[in-house]
Structure 1
């Protein structure tokens, strides 16, 4: 059916005298669908496992460096629709209420990392989130997460397989999976 449709499109284009655009259009449509699908998998999968790792971090060792790295990962890979909501009026109100709560309960509400979503300049977030840059930044963050996790458990010789350690390894592995999948399937 696809060849019949392409054949019909080529006939119509040849009558119009424009064969290049019809053939090129079909190839570019398939590549944009592949790229947008890879981007969506990267955004949703990376966000789910980054949030999972944040929860594990807050219930486990409470590493400040890992929390910061995971928030940077979220800034670069958060789904676009949700990111726009957080950067709008809702995000401003949440940031305001979080800062107000931080004034009274500083140990309970550390808000400095959430402010990255709201106050980062548009030109910086656009460059960090679009194209191959977001994949490379997330890959570097993933390597940094592995290094901080290995240092946190005391090196590879001192590794004890607990639920927390297994969950962190699984979460980081999935972060790598979605990032590498995005880098391999995205068409640049």
Structure 2
């Protein structure tokens, strides 16, 4: 076996492993983008349904933590920058005059959270497991709210919850399974 054969076999091995690594990285980045955008859309839908329905502050807080972990990176960087500071300032000022209408404390979480905490939640498997636990807690809260099959009423809010909660699970579990850690 000559030197050229050894070099060519080494290059074939490297290019094959590089192609596999790129395919895995591509699949992982698609799963992450799907988790971020899909999870955010359905968490915001649940927040809207919560504000229109029972107005549960515990569920709102859980959904804000879900959004903190799953918010798309592009939008999250905007909120953590100068624009987010101005929005937080205006929200606090509006909260001084209209405290019942504009709850500001949850939005400030996006702006003032320490970088090490946010990066640790957003870039590791711990954040995805955290989102999965939040989705489980939301399901438990919904089951407790129904109080059995006798009180089950089907309305637009019920349909929205039944649509959004499984999608929270879907995007979270998909990213948990397809993400490379």
- TM-score, length basis structure 2: 0.92
Counterpart-to-counterpart distance in 2, 1:99 and 1:12: 69
Counterpart for residue 166 of structure 1: 159
- The structural deviation recorded for 1:131 is 2.6
Counterpart-to-counterpart distance in 2, 1:101 and 1:111: 9
SS in 1 for 2:87: helix
Contact persistence 1:150–1:156 (CA under 8 A): no
Aligned runs of 1:127-138 on 2, under 5 Å?
127-138=120-131
> Measured at CA, do residues 119 and 17 of structure 1 come closer, stay the same or move farther in structure 2, by a change above 3 Å?
same
> Measured at CA, do residues 13 and 179 of structure 1 come closer, stay the same or move farther in structure 2, by a change above 3 Å?
farther
Counterpart-to-counterpart distance in 2, 1:173 and 1:136: 16
Counterpart for residue 175 of structure 1: 168
Counterpart for residue 116 of structure 2: 123
Q: How many residues align?
A: 178
Counterpart for residue 92 of structure 1: 85
Counterpart-to-counterpart distance in 2, 1:167 and 1:152: 15
Stretches of structure 2 that go unaligned for 5 or more consecutive residues are none
- The structural deviation recorded for 1:45 is 0.3
Aligned runs of 1:1-188 on 2, under 5 Å?
14-15=7-8, 20-188=13-181
SS in 2 for 1:107: coil
- The structural deviation recorded for 1:13 is 8.4
Contact persistence 1:13–1:19 (CA under 8 A): no
> Measured at CA, do residues 98 and 16 of structure 1 come closer, stay the same or move farther in structure 2, by a change above 3 Å?
same
Counterpart-to-counterpart distance in 2, 1:131 and 1:38: 14
Deviation per residue, 1:137-173 (Å, 9 max, x gap): 1100000001111222334552222221121121111
Stretches of structure 1 that go unaligned for 5 or more consecutive residues are 1-10
Contact persistence 1:42–1:179 (CA under 8 A): yes
Counterpart-to-counterpart distance in 1, 2:47 and 2:6: 54
RMSD (CA atoms): 1.9
Counterpart-to-counterpart distance in 2, 1:158 and 1:58: 21
